[in-house]
């Protein structure tokens, strides 16, 4: 049994704005009371674009003035990305004082969770030197963007499971030209997103050496 307990909230479909506000609330609570347990939020979002704090609008292929969809600039790192149903978005709210106060370590841990989950479905994935995220071949299957405030984490990663990728065609994903995006279902048509969520929780617990309740 591991000492650190992480409370799981498998929320399901929720608007990006509500999930964002909930994360901010959880972070503030832990800044006020560092003894509170960590959280692991699993969500899916209706179609939405998000931009990192320093991201450029040059990576948008549409005119913001005539865009009728949802788009948010957030405090996470990274460039523009797209969320939609069929994509698992994971928001760990962790107090890194109990792990390692090292952002590079944390990012590599998140990548390791994704790589091990994909391996469970016989998919060989990899990191790309100098970039954050996980790839299968030249196609990105998971994007990562985090914010850490006094070593409390928020935001996280998005794993493309069985989502419609057409929304990515309107942006340069993560600001990386000449790369594509892919899904688990592209390689495994029988994939079940509920099972992937369960596997993800199991692997997260192993990689971070925590107990999830």
Q: Which residues contact 26 (CB under 8 A, 6 or more apart)?
A: 39, 93, 154
Q: What is the percent of the chain where pLDDT is above 90? A: 90
Residue 175: the pLDDT is 76
Let me know if 163 is a catalytic residue. no
Range of the domain at 83: 5-212
Report the predicted TM-score, pTM, of the whole model to 2 decimal places. 0.96
pLDDT tens-digit profile of 178-191? 778 999 999 999 99
pLDDT band at 173 (very low <50, low <70, confident <90, very high): confident
pLDDT in tens, 27-62: 999 999 999 999 999 999 999 999 999 888 899 999
CATH number at residue 159: 3.30.930.10
Instruction: Give yes or no for residue 157 having a pLDDT over 50.
Output: yes
* Residue 75 DSSP one-character state: S
Count of the separate structural domains present in the chain: 1
The distance from CA 119 to its chain's CA centroid, rounded to whole angstroms, is: 18
SS3 111: helix
- Given 84, 162, 163, 174, which residue is catalytic? 174
Q: Lowest mean pLDDT: which of 37-41, 150-154, 173-177, 192-196?
A: 173-177
């Amino acid at each position: 049994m591991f000492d650190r307990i992480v409370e799981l909230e498998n929320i399901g479909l929720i608007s990006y704005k509500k999930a964002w506000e909930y994360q901010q609330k959880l972070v503030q609570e832990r800044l006020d009371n560092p003894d509170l347990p960590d959280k692991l939020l699993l969500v899916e979002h209706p179609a939405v674009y998000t931009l990192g704090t320093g991201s450029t609008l040059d990576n948008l292929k549409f005119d913001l003035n005539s865009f009728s969809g949802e788009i948010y600039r957030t405090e996470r790192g990274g460039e523009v990305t797209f969320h939609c149903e069929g994509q698992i978005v994971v928001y760990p709210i962790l107090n890194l004082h109990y792990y390692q106060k090292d952002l590079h370590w944390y990012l590599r841990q998140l990548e390791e969770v994704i790589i091990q989950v994909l391996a469970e479905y016989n998919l060989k994935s990899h990191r790309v030197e100098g970039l954050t995220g996980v790839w299968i071949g030249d196609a990105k299957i998971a994007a990562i963007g985090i914010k850490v405030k006094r070593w409390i984490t928020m935001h996280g990663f998005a794993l493309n499971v069985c989502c419609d990728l057409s929304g990515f065609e309107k942006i340069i994903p993560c600001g990386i030209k000449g790369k594509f995006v892919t899904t688990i279902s592209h390689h495994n048509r029988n994939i079940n997103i509920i099972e992937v969520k369960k596997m993800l929780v199991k692997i997260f617990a192993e990689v971070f050496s925590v107990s999830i309740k």
